[in-house]
């Protein structure tokens, strides 16, 4: 079992969204998939913030977005059977097009590839995003942010699923009960590792 942490967590509110988008943009600045999507660092910082603002708006209504009192990170979960992105929601990605320029079709193909690999059954929670302020990484904040939904999964006997975009993060997720189920290669890009967690 992962070690308990002293960090408090709470459900995020709509008032937190701008700050959370900025924190996640910084957390993922050096992420391999983010760099593949948008190689220029300054442009990537802006694109990241827009992307995470979009994801936060998309998922906040499911009431499974968690942060800390000081907004040092966030875990964004989708409820069982509500992880698919609708066509209308996909239109929310339009503001990212200028940052990605000619890479946009390749990035969209990659997103489709990841979505197609997402298991349909059994119903499961989907960890869409987990990130912490870079200066605070290694303090146990990520583990604390995962804890509420993982406890819910165990209580209700529901699995969980995620895609790790960093090989270095596999060990972290493994400590929380996730196991790698495969490897996806993005078009002319980095690998992504689907991971599944059975309830305890």
**Local confidence band at 6 (pLDDT 50, 70, 90 cut-offs):** confident
The residue-averaged pLDDT of 181-194 equals 94
**Local confidence band at 76 (pLDDT 50, 70, 90 cut-offs):** very high
Residue 114 included in any domain: yes
**pLDDT single digits (tens) 132-149:** 999 999 999 999 999 999
> Based on the structure, what is the number of domains in the chain?
1
In terms of Cα–Cα distance, which of 59, 63, 66 is closest to 89?
Answer: 59
Total-model pTM: 0.89
- Report yes or no: 25 and 41 within 8 Å, Cβ to Cβ: no
Residues 151-174, buried b or exposed e (16+ Cβ, 10 A)? eebeeeebbbbbbbbbeebeebbe
Helix (H, G, I), strand (E, B) or coil at 197: strand
Residue 5 included in any domain: no
Residue 119's domain is classified under what CATH number?
A: 3.40.630.30
Average pLDDT, the chain: 89
Residue 77 included in any domain: yes
Residue 87 structural domain: 10-197
pLDDT over 70 at 88, yes or no: no
Highest mean pLDDT among 5-14, 21-30, 83-92, 96-105: 21-30
Residue 6's Cβ-count burial label (10 Å; 0-12, 13-18, 19+) is exposed
**pLDDT single digits (tens) 54-74:** 999 999 999 999 999 999 999
Residue 4 included in any domain: no
pLDDT at residue 133 in the model:
97
* Number of residues that this document lists for the chain: 200
- Report yes or no: 86 and 78 within 8 Å, Cβ to Cβ: no
How distant, in Å, are the alpha carbons of 23, 25, 162 from that of 15? 14, 17, 26
């Amino acid at each position: 079992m992962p070690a308990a942490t002293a960090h408090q967590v709470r459900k995020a509110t709509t008032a937190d969204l701008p700050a959370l988008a900025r924190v996640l943009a910084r957390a993922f600045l050096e992420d391999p998939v983010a760099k593949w999507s948008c190689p220029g660092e300054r442009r990537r910082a802006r694109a990241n913030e827009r992307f995470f603002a979009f994801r936060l708006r998309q998922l906040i209504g499911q009431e499974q977005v968690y942060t800390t009192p000081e907004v040092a990170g966030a875990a964004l979960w989708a409820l069982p059977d509500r992880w698919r992105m609708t066509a209308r929601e996909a239109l929310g990605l339009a503001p990212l097009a200028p940052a990605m320029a000619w890479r946009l079709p390749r990035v969209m193909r990659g997103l489709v590839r990841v979505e197609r690999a997402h298991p349909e059954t059994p119903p499961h929670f989907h960890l869409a995003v987990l990130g912490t302020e870079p200066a605070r990484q290694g303090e146990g904040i990520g583990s604390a942010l995962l804890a509420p939904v993982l406890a819910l999964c165990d209580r209700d006997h529901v699995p969980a699923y995620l895609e790790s975009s960093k090989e270095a993060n596999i060990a972290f997720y493994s400590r929380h009960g996730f196991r790698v189920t495969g490897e996806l290669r993005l078009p002319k890009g980095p690998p992504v590792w689907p991971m599944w967690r059975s309830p305890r």
